[in-house]
Structure 1
Amino acid sequence: MSEQNTRRPGEVFNDEDSNRSDNPHFDSVLATRLSRRHLLRGGAGAAVVGSAALAGCATPASSGGAPGAATQLGFTPVARTTADTVTVPPGYTAQVLYAGGDPLGADVPAFRNDGSDEQWGRRAGDHHDGIEWFGLDAQNQPSGSFTSRGLLAMNHEATTDEKLSSFFIHANGGTATLPRPAAEIDKELMIHGISVVEVRRDGRRWATQPASPYNRRITTLSEAIFTGPAAGSAHLATKYSPNGTKGRGTVNNCGTGKTPWGTLVSGEENWYGYFFRDAQDDARRNDPKITAAFKRYGRNAGAASRHGWESGGSDDRFQRWNTGATGASAREDYRNEFHTFGYVVELDPYNPNTLLTKRTALGRFAHENVSFAKPVAGQPVVAYMGCDARGEYIYKFVSAEKWDPADANPRNRLAAGDKYLDAGALYVARFNADGSGEWLELSPKNPAISGFKGFDFKTQADVCVFTRLAADAAGATKMDRPEWTGVNPKNGEVYITLTNNSARTEATVDAANPRTYSDMKGSKEQKGNVHGHIVRLAEATPAEATFRWDIYLFASEADADKANINLSNLSDQNDLSSPDGLVFSPATGICWIETDDGAYTDKTNCMLLAALPGQVGDGGARTVKSGNKDVTTHVGKPQTPATLRRFLVGPKGAEITGITETPDGRAIFVNIQHAGENTKMADVGDPAKYESRWPSSAGYGAGQRPRSATVVITKNDGGVIGT
């Protein structure tokens, strides 16, 4: 979710910027590091999403394997547009499949979409985000090849809000002052989290299965267990779980991933904004290092919470959102509840009777997604992650256990998660100016961490709960909001989207974050790394402690200065702003890039692009001028419409979020989040004033209030998407 999106006064939800470490930039450390390295305008006739009825002819095969890596993109680029619809290339059809509020039980009433709906714990949640496909065969067994039936597991990140209230889900827009009514808060507690929904294809039409026994919702109140180094530590002790082994729910889930053993992993991103600490909390705690840690995670004493959930009354389900030290000890209040969020959570979509698991070994920060290197027998399992805030870091986890191919289809999938995700080494990335990089271990064994004056790192539990501080101590490189990571199946290289950074300045540019510039949006001047970029890493093996890097793509408007801004030579057919979601297709190898943009929305809504990436080093060194400062960086080869082109543009106000596909690559599922989010709370009763009325404007569902939704995209001739 972009820092430039409109939010209620006083807080921009993704604008958290708490990294005040003095980690050096490249120019000051290069010599030291070198000495120590031994260790389209057009697309006329584009298709738009219509009603539930699909146009088209051929019926795709019901099963089949991957068709192989794409060697060229085979669709007409979609033009930039601000139309309030989902636009896809000619020859493609997009169908709305699963929208916020849709029933997840046969006895749940149809969604009225007027703010009166209840039973949100048994409906699709709000703000669809990361999404993964889990195949099911005709015998109800997990399948890696079945393509006409499966489970979609997805995040419900947040909600469209203004002045505290999630106004579209309340009849009159909700209450904008404190205290807030318990009934309103109860709805909002339910619309966050994760959902699992069964989907099936009949001919060319897809449909959810409301009566499926696999359907499930995880909310902010669902029981969870902690595993890994922090489980049972004093940092996680609360009134709910005095021994620090259990928690409740998950919140602000953004990116997803699919483990090699067939489970969903989901990242808790900006949970900090949901919590309240009163102005006297620092004094009551009388522990400067703990209060400094709260600030490092974006929660100063006296800061208001995003929704005021703590104001709903004395019941435990409300008071847990007040993370102040209000009782005699941590076992009598929720001073540590804040520490129970910010993890990678794991869920088995195939087994609705299992609990949510929080994997603390992967660290605590503003998690986006998790991407896994292709597992190799006898080698560790390796996962890559980003921390989405300005000036934050890129991380890697290397399992202690070595991969056993038998675990690709285990009897107990969460036990496989215990095996590979609860013990191992956590690393953070440092980028060197010469195009090399190092993974720095986050452990008390690292003298830079054990000797850190800002916090007492005595155990790995300390590192896993206060990971940002450990990364500061290690000397990681501050990046321009690391979001999704993706592993290229062709060569194993790792791609990381860096969405944007309004705080990047001439004084702080460096080789991996080389641009700061001025960009006009109408009459408004925007500064910093306005449009973002994508960096990529190459390692000899995934468990290596070193890597090579370059910048694969510089996002930019097509007409921007090609010497210092539009460094990737983008055109009308492929220019973009604020890359966010990034997923490689297992079927075709296409790299799908989604945007969450607030900088270019005067010219186009957010979009999805298809790319055929090359490899690290296919460009070369280049000097970029940022203000009066020259920065030498490493760039990928220039883009052309043959290697990068726009595939989809979403409705007004929407972010394009998660994407997944059937194993044959003939259907992709794309999430459209927060259409119409710039609507004003005061206008909730007047559809004529909504920024968007999608997807009802596309013939889907009742009412006119905009809803987040999953669309399924197919090729009218039944072919493979994108080729």
Structure 2
Amino acid sequence: MTETANHGYTDGVVDCNPTDNPTLESIVAERYSRRQTLFGGVSAIAAATMGGMLVSACGSDNEAPVVTAGANATVSAGRLVTLTGTATDKQEVSVGWTQVSGPAVTLQNANTNNASFIAPAVSASTPLVFEYKATDSKGKAATAQTTITVTPAVLGFTAVPKGFDDLVKVPDGYTVSILYRLGDPIDAATPAFANNGTDTGFSKRAGDHHDALYYYGLAATGNARDDNNSARGLLVMNHENITQVYLHANGPTSTGGIRPEAEVLKEMECHGVSVIEVTRSTAGWNYVQGSTLNRRTTPLTPVSFTGPARGNALLSTRFSTAGTDGRGTVNNCANGFSFWGTYLTCEENWAGYFRRAAGDNAVRGGATAKDVVSLNRYGIPEGASGSYGWSTVVPADAASTVYARWNASATGASAAADFRNEPNQFGWVVELDPYDPTKAPRKRTALGRFGHEGCWPSNVVAGRKPAFYMGDDARGEYLYKFVSAQPWVAADANATDRLAIGDKYLDAGTLYVARFAADGTGTWLPLVFGQGGLTASNPSYPFADQADVLVNARLAGDVLGATKMDRPEWTAVNPVTGEVYLTLTNNNATVRPLAGTDAANPRHYNDPRAGVAQRGNPNGHIIRLKETGDSSEATSFNWDIYLFGADSAEADANNVNISGLDASNDFSSPDGLWFARPQNASGLVNPLLWIQTDDGAFTDRTNNQMLVAIPGRVGDGAAKVITNTGADGTTRNQLTYPGKAATQATLKRFLVGPKGCELTGVDSTPDGRTLFVNIQHPGEDGNLTTLQSSWPATQGGGSSTARPRSATIVITKNDGGIVGL
């Protein structure tokens, strides 16, 4: 048998499926002479902290203090408001603010002249009345009131222009700081990162390719969970992949096709997940290097399998002949969370890591053998070399199988003697408890095996079964939903054994795949053994049992006739409406030719880049659906297309730029997707939707970017027939269902990243005043001789010769308000 020594990275065969409002600063703040009205009671600046006792000019002992509370004002939801009162003519006066009416807010520094609050979320103009009171030492008091009218939230910033700088650029009025970078040590014993390729010990350092993340609140002291703490928490994030060339002193090496063990160990440890403690002080945010809660999960970490496939022969390997245990997680991309406080990390392009020898098909029984059909469908064809050549390592410990397991060839007498089934141990949703480092992560097999790109939960309702929405990230793949067998019990949100609650809700239920109909409706098709052709007599793939259906969910979706989508990626659920959003990043003419469009994937056009044709749907779109009855248990839904990516300068406005994008909000290849948290005004009434791009098609116009939107609802647009055009000029009409067109009031560019990066991963603190964002693989197209980027060193005006590093950034509003509003 012959093999090719190709040690670069590959995903495997992934296409396997045959008006800005004025700022508060502009509200005039003029103080009139004593005993006159004080104007300018609202200011969008941080409140000044003053003592409760003020010294003023002398006056008659028989007079009460003279007070003013500021003029009435109007402000939009989510803005920081400062109330300014004055008390005069008394030497000793105690002062304070109270709220008289309107939606309750939390007043900061209430016993001073300058109290502040965040304007609450409202659906219509709503007055809030506040009273300022001053009392002298003899008990004489005087009061004054002011009314702050709060209007619905708006996007409160000027759009960032497109650009090519080697910086993270955000709107005026915001600050970016760097929090956690590739190689940063997470314990006290690990030295600082040299960033020259000589560093080791990545099981105690930040991994590479920071991806999806989620913030988990911690109590002010100790390790207890506190979902509402916005000053101390755990940041959990994925490390999807590596930029191999920058990890080693002189780039990766091999000798005779064999990779050095030390290099491969470093590369493996750079994958996986980080859990790090983060804290906010007056100086800003930092991660706590020596926290006992810090940890890394890598491809070497022990994991266990749960659910229907646990113990099945399809999971049996030389390492775990019983098919119950495994080692680690890899290519972790998007994520999800649970309402009981755990993290869901998702294994995406795991298939490309596996080698399979030429001639392996014959050893397995030929091209029609079940496992060969399965391997091909998941993108591990005969002759696959395996990303980075991990399987080629000859370990110092001859008994070690850490590297051999990446060779999926059938070399032994049975699956128990080799790693032919090792690919079946990947492609899962993995649950871990951020608060408990002692518990091994659990791979939840009931949620199916594919190129998982997120696992976002439905809004939970007591007595109703929760659902989790998942995209399969490859062109022509499907959208899935898992509905738990157990109805939600509110008390479970606060259980201390969180992984046991995961066992309850994630190990039994029904996995569905989506079929989108031409009339704007859709159906969830159950992947249940014995139903819909998922039987042992199915001619294309004979399923043995429910475990087989779940291990081979792609094949099951094929049989059921699921709708092939334009590369389904992140899912996000609107915390108010429950509507589900899905990014469809892009497609090409090979996978979706002119004749292959449908209502849910309707465009076929050309967006040339640097003179080279890009045909198909190179700019992607975002689809959304509304479950029938707004129920997570529904088996049908309505859908429309929320936004179409496009180049506003060149795209056909009628057939390509269907969403009416302009220079302030055009985008391409939507990827990351996240709704603001419902614990603050940005996630209430009309929650903000954050959109991140992972693009190649639009990089002649800008670096990758992040936008923020105030979306409408499914059905807020109208049906439309577009005309698609093929390479030969042939045209074809296609009916589709666009949502309401975007405007600068509903969609704006908030951030542009550094050179060569992908924007991926976003979450906030519960109060919405801090946004965490991940910058992945800056400078990925460079090398040690010609760097494309030196970010994040360049963010602070530092070295332009430093190796680039993936990193987590912190974005805050300079006035202390809610980010985006």
TM-score > 0.5, shorter chain as reference: yes
1:84 to 151, 162, 166: 166
**Residue-pair matches, total:** 672
Match of 2:566 in 1: 480
What amino acid does structure 2 have at the position aligned with 1:669? Answer: F
**Cα gap change, 1:323 to 1:214, in 2 (>3 Å):** same
8 Å CA contact 1:111–1:701 kept in 2: the answer is no
* Equivalent pair of 1:97/1:206 in contact (CA under 8 Å): yes
Counterpart pick for 2:578 among 483, 489, 492: 492
How far does the alpha carbon of each residue in 1:400-458 deviate from its partner, in whole angstroms, 9 at most, with x for none?
01111001111100000000000000000000000010000001131322253122223
Any residues of structure 2 matched to 1:39-188 within 5 Å, and which?
Answer: 67-68=120-121, 71-140=153-222, 141-160=224-243, 166-175=244-253, 178-188=257-267
The answer (yes or no) to whether the contact 1:64–1:147 under 8 Å persists in 2 is no
Q: Which amino acid aligns with 1:400?
A: A
- Taking the aligned partners of 2:327 and 2:716, their CA distance within structure 1 comes to 47
Partner of 1:214, secondary structure, is coil
TM-aligned CA deviation for residue 139 of structure 1: 3.3
Q: Does 1:621 align with 2:719?
A: yes
- The CA distance in 2 between the partners of 1:428 and 1:235, in whole Å, is 22
* Number of the residue aligned with 1:692: 789
Instruction: State the match for 1:302 in structure 2.
Output: 383
Q: Given the alignment, which residue of 370, 381, 392 partners 2:455?
A: 370
CA contact (8 A) 2:10 2:386 kept: no
Residue matched to 1:453: 539
Label 1:58 to 1:669 Cα distance change in 2 as closer, same or farther (>3 A).
farther
Kindly state the Cα deviation for residue 96 of structure 1 after the two structures are TM-superposed. Answer: 0.6
Q: Is the 8 A contact 1:66 1:665 kept in 2?
A: no
1:143 is paired with a residue whose SS is coil
- Give the corresponding residue for 1:528: 616
User: What are the residue-to-residue correspondences of 1:230-379 with 2, within 5 Å?
Assistant: 230-286=309-365, 288-313=369-394, 315-379=400-464
Q: 1:308 to 1:625 in 2, by over 3 A?
A: same
- Higher RCO structure (Cα 8 Å, ≥6 apart): 1
Structure 2 counterpart of 1:215: 294
Contact 1:653/1:691 (<8 A) preserved: yes
- 5 Å-filtered alignment, 1:404-553, equals 404-450=489-535, 451-502=537-588, 503-539=591-627, 540=629, 541-553=631-643
Partner of 1:257, secondary structure, is strand
- 1:271 and 1:329 map into 2 onto residues whose CA distance is 23
> Aligned equivalents of 1:660 and 1:66: distance in 2?
21
Distance of aligned partners of 1:717 and 1:208 in 2 relative to their CA distance in 1, 3 Å threshold:
same
2: distance between equivalents of 1:489 and 1:665? 15
Counterparts in 2 of 1:64 and 1:231: CA distance versus 1, 3 Å: farther
Q: Which amino acid aligns with 1:274?
A: Y
Contact 1:65 1:145 in 2 (8 A): no
Structure 2 stretches of 5 or more lacking a match? 1-5, 21-44, 49-79, 81-107, 110-115, 123-151, 726-730
The offset of 1:693, in angstroms, is 0.2
Residue 58 of structure 1 and its aligned partner are, at CA, apart by 6.5
Whole-angstrom distance in 1 between the partners of 2:328 and 2:284: 34
Match of 2:278 among 194, 199, 206: 199
CA drift of 1:12 comes to 5.3
The answer to whether the 8 Å contact 1:486/1:496 transfers is yes
Aligned to 2:98: none
Q: How far 1:338 moved relative to its partner?
A: 0.7
1:609 and 1:402 map into 2 onto residues whose CA distance is 36
Partner amino acid for 1:563?
A: N
Shift of 1:592: 0.3
Distance 1:557 1:58, change over 3 A: farther
- Kindly indicate whether residue 808 of structure 2 is the aligned counterpart of residue 710 of structure 1: yes
Residue 697 (structure 1) shift: 1.5
1:676 corresponds in structure 2 to: 779
- For 2:769, the equivalent position in structure 1 comes to 666
Q: Provide, for residues 96-124 of structure 1, a one-character-per-residue CA deviation record: whole Å limited to 9, x for no partner.
A: 10001000101110000000001110000
Q: Which moved more, 1:61-70 or 1:372-381?
A: 61-70
- Give 1:258's aligned amino acid: F
Q: 1:327 to 1:12 in 2, by over 3 A?
A: closer
CA distance in 2, matches of 1:356, 1:11: 26
The equivalent of 1:35 in structure 2 is none
Pairing of 1:593-608 with structure 2 (within 5 A): 593-608=691-706
Deviations 1:510-548 (A, max 9, x none): 100000111111221111101000000001211100000
1:389 counterpart (474, 494, 499):
474
Query: Residues 485-511 of structure 1, C-alpha deviation per residue, up to 9 Å, x if partnerless?
Result: 000112110000000001321110110
Structure 1 counterpart of 2:660, one-letter code: N
Cα offset for 1:671? 0.2
- Provide TM-score, normalisation by structure 1: 0.90
Report the counterpart of residue 582 of structure 1 in structure 2: 673
> Of 745, 757, 763, which residue of structure 2 is paired with 1:654?
757
| Contact 1:387–1:483, Cα closer than 8 Å, also in 2 | yes
The Cα shift of 1:67 comes to 4.6
> Would the aligned equivalents of 2:534 and 2:543 in 1 still touch at CA under 8 Å?
yes
State the one-letter code of the partner of 2:807: A
Question: Per-residue displacement from partner, 1:360-400 (whole Å, max 9, x unpaired)?
Answer: 00000000111111111111011000000010000000000
* Aligned pair partner of 1:569 in 637, 646, 660: 660
CA–CA distance in structure 2, aligned partners of residues 416 and 256 of structure 1? 18
Secondary structure class of the residue paired with 1:447: coil
Aligned residue for 1:36? Answer: none
Q: Distance in 1 between matches of 2:574 and 2:793?
A: 37
Give the letter for the 1:580 counterpart.
D
Determine helix, strand or coil for the equivalent of 1:604: coil
Alignment deviations for residues 193-215 of structure 1 (CA, whole Å, 9 cap, x no partner): 00000000011510010010000
Shift in alpha-carbon separation, 1:213–1:66, aligned structure 2, 3 A: farther
1:329: how far off?
1.1
The Cα of 1:68 is off from its aligned counterpart by 3.3
Range moving further from structure 2, 411-420 or 315-324: 315-324
Counterpart CA distance in 1 for 2:10 and 2:498 is: 38
Distance 1:66 1:416, change over 3 A: farther
AA paired with 1:610?
V
Which residue type is aligned with residue 16 of structure 2? Answer: S
Amino acid at match of 1:552: Y
**Aligned equivalents of 1:265 and 1:68: distance in 2?**
29
CA distance, structure 1, for counterparts of residue 528 and residue 555 of structure 2: 12
Shift of 1:306: 1.2
What is the CA–CA distance in structure 2 between the aligned matches of 1:14 and 1:305, rounded to whole Å?
8
CA distance in 2, matches of 1:186, 1:458: 37
Computing the radius of gyration from Cα coordinates, the structure with the larger value is 2
Contact 1:289 1:454 in 2 (8 A): no
- Distance in 1, matches of 2:513 and 2:179, equals 39
Q: CA deviation at 1:303?
A: 1.4
Give, as a single letter, the amino acid of the residue that structure 2 aligns with 1:639: A
- Residue 700 of structure 1 deviates from its aligned partner by 9.1
1:304 Cα deviation after fit: 1.3
Q: Matches of 1:501 and 1:13 in 2, distance apart?
A: 16
CA contact (8 A) 1:223 1:355 kept: yes
CA distance in 1, matches of 2:749, 2:325: 44
| SS of the residue 1:324 aligns to | coil
* Aligned counterparts of 2:386 and 2:698: Cα–Cα separation in 1: 29
